[in-house]
Each structure stands twice: as structure tokens, then as C-alpha cells.
């Protein structure tokens, strides 16, 4: 029962936060300064998600050539510099990770 209350509560919080920004009835405007700040939110979130996976695959730091996650991360960065499409980058990097793993 406690788990269901937590799930329903988190769903309510998520809905209310998103509704605030998407509802037409609430007069909310994003200022130009806030728009500039929000441009950094996606890179910040992606960095926060990927760095622990790349550097701590077994729970402790591993910066070596034996870390396939770190090698694949470097490979993805190199592919992204080539300006390939997102789909091509994902497919090629997944094949590379599969081969080195």
C-alpha cells in the first residue's frame, strides 16, 4: 500500500509540474534570460547521466583502456564531431560497443 501511495504521489507531482508550463490558462512567460539558461539544461542532464556510467562501471573509478564504456563514450564523441545523423551515430556506436565488449 505504501508503494502505491508513493507512485501516485510522484505521478501527481510530475503532472502538476508539467501542467504548470503547458497549460494555456496559466499566464506564464519565459524571459529571455531564462531561455538562455535553459539551453544548458539538456547538456547538464546528459552529463550527469553518462559520467557515472563511463567512469564508474564496476562501482569504482576505471580510467583505462580496459573500460569498454569509456572507449565507447570516446568513440561516440568522435562520431558526433563528424556531424553524422543521430540515428547513424547511435547504430555505429552500438555496433562498436558490441564489438569491443
Q: Quote the percentage of the chain above a pLDDT of 70.
A: 98
pTM of the model: 0.61
Query: Does the pLDDT at position 43 exceed 90?
Result: no
Q: Where are the alpha helices (DSSP H) in 1-101?
A: 2-22, 32-38, 41-55, 68-81, 86-100
Q: What pLDDT score does 96 carry? A: 93
CA 30, CA 22: separation in Å to the nearest integer? 12
Residue 10: what are its φ and ψ, rounded to 5°? -65, -35
Query: Does the pLDDT at position 7 exceed 90?
Result: yes
Least confident of 12-16, 45-49, 62-66: 62-66
Query: Does the pLDDT at position 98 exceed 90?
Result: yes
Amino acid at each position: 500500500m505504501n508503494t502505491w501511495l508513493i507512485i501516485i504521489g510522484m505521478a501527481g507531482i510530475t503532472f502538476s509540474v508539467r501542467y504548470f508550463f503547458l497549460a494555456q490558462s496559466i499566464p506564464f512567460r519565459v524571459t529571455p534570460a531564462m531561455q538562455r539558461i535553459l539551453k544548458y539544461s539538456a547538456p547538464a542532464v546528459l552529463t550527469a547521466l553518462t559520467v557515472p556510467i563511463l567512469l564508474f562501471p564496476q562501482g569504482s573509478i576505471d580510467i583505462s583502456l580496459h573500460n569498454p564504456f569509456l572507449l565507447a563514450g570516446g568513440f561516440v564523441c568522435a562520431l558526433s564531431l563528424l556531424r553524422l545523423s543521430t540515428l547513424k551515430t547511435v547504430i555505429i556506436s552500438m555496433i562498436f560497443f558490441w564489438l569491443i565488449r
